[in-house]
Amino acid sequence: MISRRALLESSAALFATRLFGSSTDTPSKRPSPELQNLADVALHQAKKLGATYADIRINRYQDQRVGVRLSKDLTTGKDLESPFVNGETSFGFGVRVIADGSWGFAASPLVNREEIARIAGEAVTVARASAKLQNRPVELAPVPVYQDRWTSPFRRNPFDVPMAEKLELLRASVQEIKKDPRVFSGNGFLLFHSEDKFFASSEGSAIQQFIVQTVGDISAHAVDRKKGLSKSRNHRPPPLETGYEYVAAMNFGENAPRIREEVLEQLAAPPVQPGKKDLVLLPSHLCLTIHESLGHSTELDRALGYEANFAGTSFLTPDKMGKMRIGSELVTVYGDRTHPEGLSTVGYDDDGVKATRFTIVDKGIFAHFQTIRDQAHLIGEKESRGCCYADSWASIPFQRIPNVWLAPGPDSVTPEDLIASVEDGILIDGTGSWSIDQQRYNFQFGGDAFWEIKGGKKGGMLSRVAYQSRTPDFWQACDGIAGPAYWQQYGLFNDGKGQPEQINAMSHGSAPARFRQINVLLTD
Amino acid sequence: MLTKDEAQKLAEKILSYSKFPECEISIDGNEDAFVRFANNGLTTSGLVRQQQISISSTKDRKTGNTSFNQIDDKSLRDAVARSEEMAEIALPNEEHVPSLPPQHYPEIDRLDPATASARSPELIVHARNVIDAARSKSLVAAGFVQRSARASAIASKTGLFGYSASADSSLTATVRTAAGDGSGWASQPAIRFAEMDSSGVARRAVEKCLASRGAKRIEPGKYTVVMEPAAVAALVGYFGFALNARAAEEGRSFLSKDGGGTRVGEKMFPDIINLRSDPTITSIPARPWGFDRLPVQAVTWIDAGVVTSLRYDRFWAMQKGRQPSPPDANMILDGQPNAIDDLIAATDRGLLITHFWYIRFVNPKTMQLTGLTRDGLLLIENGKITGPVMNLRFNESPVRLLQNAKMLGRPERVQEDEVSDDLLVPPLQATEFTFSSVSDAV
């Protein structure tokens, strides 16, 4: 809680800027000595109090949200413009220790030596209390010692770009969307996120990282009050770990008129005839299906029961590694925190493990779980696969989904080829409704837009579509994936897991893919 | 814990830096202690302090917003200046409403000092009770015990000031068989941590786990259902989104009338359905003010099945030339003097639902949702539970659920992930609940 002492602290924001430097500083390969000095307070205090391992993360997060909504006032017929600008920062530290064989964690927003020592002591107290009810002592997979600094590549820091430029872009986009009076409202937003992260451990690592992410979206909404219908259509470019230079490539200018037309087509689109159909899923849609069915089911903490009380367990268990077929021969999937512009791409994870790429599904066979340092030994592995992440300085690092991507098909296969051999099917773009059971078997997905495929040709739009399947059945029904030229990296910004719940962002790339005879439902 | 006096001084200091005609601030601080357990042992525990200040500065209907967590003088001054700089270059907001004058907020006492100060040793007692109960039956427990102390304040340049401090705690527990063929769940929220009955939670989770073993497959379709309060809360909670007057009047809600207008005044539900908000109910959390800073008051949304009120925020009320609605402090579905066993006894053939998982909108206009049953789905035949069945996915709207409600039990507060903590709902029996597929998940 905020205390009187806190009120006396001076210039914390400036202090943070001095600690982390600015993005225009000459890049160094060494972490800031001042951060290391602060970290040493926690590491020494934890050791003094008997901890056998300690780490500290001193982090600063910055978010900027800019939005414009233009919506019709039904009374006056006039359009109401409602802009939104928000800047958010959060700075603090968390100390994690192992004492008496148990984890302990404590965190505070007051970044000074006295508070760091106090919080390190709190973490040891928590660990010792927990040790009385532990199952087995925590065991960490070995990791090399790193002293390094890593920055995600970007050309233009979005926080240095004038707000007016962002607002003007969004305003022009929503005005374009609203040019047809039958469109009820247009929305646009941009989100920029950065993380200054410093990690130091009692094993000698000190790692400073700076990450920048850029997200944007425009949407159109239409209402048919006579028929009681309400529909929306988005243009949602992939969120990427990159800078403001990406905003131009989002191409709101060309896409605003497209979604304006498509939302009206969608409002008049006939309902789907339910039944078994072939699906051709675009990367903008498949990202969420990959995430829910293959991303979550291959988390080792779930498989071992550590998430049983909330996020659930998994149909995949360690005895199925290297044996169980969960996809067709075409399906090869990687966990990858090194992939350029992936939302989960880092130099090092929050255990201080260097980012890596590993196979999750190899030609349809389940190959490997996602792991972190305190899990590897539980399945007889010697090292972590680098999937540790905490969403805040105030959160406990734990195993989270990395970038998980589906390998493309042969060079020669095009999306048109996938469609050409479908007699009765649906082409799906974007994400809509989604839900999957707690062991990642049964799922249901909607989408943002649906087109009928008849006799190998894409037809008009359909409405009220959802499909259901079972993870291994669905991926074994995959009989076509387009080539590398069509591979796109989409991503998600709001994956929840853990207690207290934490949010994670990661990318899921794929090329368009075809799935045979999937159960399609007619929704409301 | 930030006291009222400290909050007021901090607010005055921030407002003293403001140069714009309008400045609104909010201050939030919390301290959370938590213990997590799985596989019959503790896994991660922590003690976390957080704080956040949000500032909105407005001039000529142009607003800049900033949030931050450092509260030294320089950070405060810089933050006010930053919000004003953003406002200077922002566009005029045609939906802006001016700051409220000082308001009289109700005193809401939900601050039990013992709850606010509980630490790991007190929390671990309850984890141990659940683990011991599971072990005694050769079962495997996972769960989460937490307490949270919070202080919130709002203030603005008009002289408005409000302060609220509260504490709350909860336990959720999942008990599974070692073979993974059975799973049970139970939970308890407690405004006073001393009232935490972890032995009772453990007993219910163990019983449900044992009862769920060997589930048989049944065909999806329409079933009469008896929902425990956690299941009811997960669906009824969606009414919080749906009672918005603007969405109803703009044709975007189930409360929109085809062709225009709203369904206020229509008897859409049976006589037994009464949905309301009441800040004087002390067994559930409540805040003194709502989204647009008006004081909370008692509101009846559905009265004996008739939709009586919609939520008018300050902007939409101004557009419509009417008074804004008082914000709702919580959501209460009134019940009937029945035990859940009475609901089961009154069911010829149906399903008892422990709780749901992964509920998401399918169609926001009709409020159609999808999700799955979890941790105990039991078949009821001739008024008795006759055995477990495999989990099912539903595609259904809470509107239709309440329209098909036949019988209610006594309301209680529930603790459920992804469900608001301020719901008071009864167990419920309803007909024609639509399940669309079977899940293999246990």
A125-177 per-position pLDDT tens digit = 999 999 999 989 999 999 999 999 999 999 999 999 999 999 999 999 999 99
* CATH code for position A139: 3.30.2290.10
- List chain A residues with CB under 8 Å of B10: 2, 7
pLDDT at A4: 38
Q: Are residues A259 and A181 in the same domain?
A: yes
Residue B11 has pLDDT above 80, yes or no: yes
Q: Are residues A221 and A302 in the same domain?
A: no
Residue A28 has pLDDT above 80, yes or no: no
pLDDT at B359: 97
* CA A87 to chain CA centroid, nearest Å: 21
What is the count of residue pairs from A and B with beta carbons less than 8 Å apart? 314
Q: What is the DSSP letter of B328?
A: P
> Omega of the bond prior to B326 within 30 degrees of 0, cis?
no
Q: Are residues A16 and A92 in the same domain?
A: yes
Distances A43 to A358, A373, B358 between C-alpha atoms, Å: 32, 19, 40
Closest Cα partner for B11 from B151, B216, B204?
Answer: B151
Reported as a single tens digit per residue, the pLDDT across B67-103 is: 999 999 999 999 999 999 999 989 899 999 999 999 9
Task: Render A404-456 in DSSP notation, one character per residue.
Answer: EEEPP--TT--HHHHHHT-SEEEEEES---EEE-TTS-EEEE--SEEEEEETT
Average pLDDT over residues B329-352: 97
d(CA B409, CA B426): 5
For A251: left if phi > 0, alpha if psi spans -120 to 50, otherwise beta; the answer is left
**Confidence category of residue B27, pLDDT binned at 50, 70, 90:** very high
Residue A46 has pLDDT above 70, yes or no: yes
Q: Of A102, A109, A434, which has the smallest distance from its Cβ to B42's Cβ?
A: A102
pLDDT at A19: 87
Percent of chain A with pLDDT over 70: 97
Q: Are residues A262 and A347 in the same domain?
A: no
Reported as a single tens digit per residue, the pLDDT across B221-253 is: 999 999 999 999 999 999 987 899 999 999 999
| DSSP β-bridge partners for residue A450 | A428, A462
- List chain A residues with CB under 8 Å of B40: 135
pLDDT at A74: 84
Q: Of A81, A126, A464, which has the smallest distance from its Cβ to B91's Cβ?
A: A81
Query: Using CB atoms and an 8 Å cut-off, which of residues 315-334 of chain B contact chain A?
Result: 319-320
**Confidence category of residue A16, pLDDT binned at 50, 70, 90:** confident
Of the residues A225, A244, A268, which one is the last residue of a structural domain?
A268
What is the domain range of residue A64? 4-268
Reported as a single tens digit per residue, the pLDDT across A336-348 is: 999 999 999 999 9
**Confidence category of residue A11, pLDDT binned at 50, 70, 90:** low
Angle between helices A33-48 and A12-20 (to 10 degrees): 100
Percent of chain A with pLDDT over 90: 92
Q: Do B42 and A4 touch (CB under 8 A)?
A: no
Looking at the complex, does the CB of residue B259 fall below 8 Å from at least one CB of chain A? yes
| DSSP β-bridge partners for residue A290 | none
Looking at the complex, does the CB of residue B63 fall below 8 Å from at least one CB of chain A? yes
Query: Using CB atoms and an 8 Å cut-off, which of residues 20-49 of chain A contact chain B?
Result: none
pLDDT at A29: 81
Residue A1 has pLDDT above 80, yes or no: no
Q: Are residues A129 and A90 in the same domain?
A: yes
Percent of chain B with pLDDT over 90: 91
- Both structure tokens of B359: 């509920």
Considering the domain delimited by B4-211, tell me its CATH architecture: 2-Layer Sandwich (3.30)
| B368: helix, strand or coil | strand
Q: Are residues A257 and A330 in the same domain?
A: no
- List chain B residues with CB under 8 Å of A226: 258-259
pTM: 0.96
Residue A27 has pLDDT above 70, yes or no: no
Q: Are residues A324 and A441 in the same domain?
A: yes
pLDDT at A135: 87
- Main-chain phi, psi angles of B307, to 5 degrees: -70, 120
Per the CB < 8 A criterion, the answer to whether A243 and A156 are in contact is yes
| B80: helix, strand or coil | helix
* CA A482 to chain CA centroid, nearest Å: 24
Looking at the complex, does the CB of residue B441 fall below 8 Å from at least one CB of chain A? yes
pLDDT at A130: 95
Residue A14 has pLDDT above 90, yes or no: no
Per the CB < 8 A criterion, the answer to whether A62 and A88 are in contact is yes
Query: Using CB atoms and an 8 Å cut-off, which of residues 185-224 of chain A contact chain B?
Result: 221, 223-224
Q: What is the DSSP letter of A60?
A: E
Closest Cα partner for A207 from A349, A400, A372?
Answer: A349
- Both structure tokens of A148: 């390094």
A432 vs chain B: nearest CA distance in angstroms? 8
- List chain A residues with CB under 8 Å of B438: 442
Sign of the Cα torsion B77, B81, B84, B86 reads negative
Q: Are residues A394 and A256 in the same domain?
A: no
pLDDT at A3: 40
Looking at the complex, does the CB of residue B248 fall below 8 Å from at least one CB of chain A? no
Q: Are residues A330 and A181 in the same domain?
A: no
**Confidence category of residue A449, pLDDT binned at 50, 70, 90:** very high
Of the residues A213, A240, A268, which one is the last residue of a structural domain?
A268
Q: Do B42 and A133 touch (CB under 8 A)?
A: yes
Query: Using CB atoms and an 8 Å cut-off, which of residues 97-126 of chain A contact chain B?
Result: 102-109, 122-123, 125-126
d(CA B31, CA B10): 19
Q: Do A10 and B144 touch (CB under 8 A)?
A: no
Q: Of A16, A88, A499, which has the smallest distance from its Cβ to B36's Cβ?
A: A499
Q: Do B372 and A433 touch (CB under 8 A)?
A: no
Domain count across chain A: 2
| A367: helix, strand or coil | coil
Domain ranges of chain B: 4-211, 214-442
- List chain A residues with CB under 8 Å of B398: none
Average pLDDT over residues A463-470: 98
Q: What is the DSSP letter of B260?
A: S
Distances B226 to A107, A153, B204, B368 between C-alpha atoms, Å: 43, 55, 17, 19
pLDDT at B210: 98
Of the residues A245, A268, A291, which one is the last residue of a structural domain?
A268
Per the CB < 8 A criterion, the answer to whether A44 and B219 are in contact is no
CA atoms within 13 A on the CB side of A316: 27
Q: Are residues A246 and A290 in the same domain?
A: no
Residue B92's CB is within 10 A of a number of other CB atoms, namely: 15
d(CA B137, CA A304): 20
Amino acid, single-letter form, for residue A345:
T
Average pLDDT over residues B37-56: 96
**Confidence category of residue A24, pLDDT binned at 50, 70, 90:** low
Percent of chain B with pLDDT over 70: 100
Closest Cα partner for B380 from B407, B406, B346?
Answer: B346
Looking at the complex, does the CB of residue B58 fall below 8 Å from at least one CB of chain A? no
Looking at the complex, does the CB of residue A467 fall below 8 Å from at least one CB of chain B? no
Q: Of B120, B357, B436, which has the smallest distance from its Cβ to A126's Cβ?
A: B120
Average pLDDT over residues B350-359: 98
Q: Where are the alpha helices (DSSP H) in A299-402?
A: 300-303
A315 vs chain B: nearest CA distance in angstroms? 8
On average, the pLDDT of chain A sits at 95
Q: Are residues A367 and A469 in the same domain?
A: yes
pLDDT at A153: 97
**Confidence category of residue A25, pLDDT binned at 50, 70, 90:** low
pLDDT at A23: 61
d(CA B274, CA B426): 11
Residue A363 has pLDDT above 70, yes or no: yes
**Confidence category of residue A26, pLDDT binned at 50, 70, 90:** low
Which of A289-303, A401-415, A456-470, B314-328 has the lowest average pLDDT? Answer: B314-328
A492 vs chain B: nearest CA distance in angstroms? 16
Average pLDDT over residues B351-375: 97
Q: Are residues A404 and A492 in the same domain?
A: yes
- List chain B residues with CB under 8 Å of A13: 68, 70, 72, 74-75, 78-79
Q: Do A304 and B438 touch (CB under 8 A)?
A: no
Burial of B437 (0-12, 13-18, 19+ CB in 10 A): buried
Q: Of B74, B259, B364, which has the smallest distance from its Cβ to A225's Cβ?
A: B259
Token pair 């949000």 is found at: B54
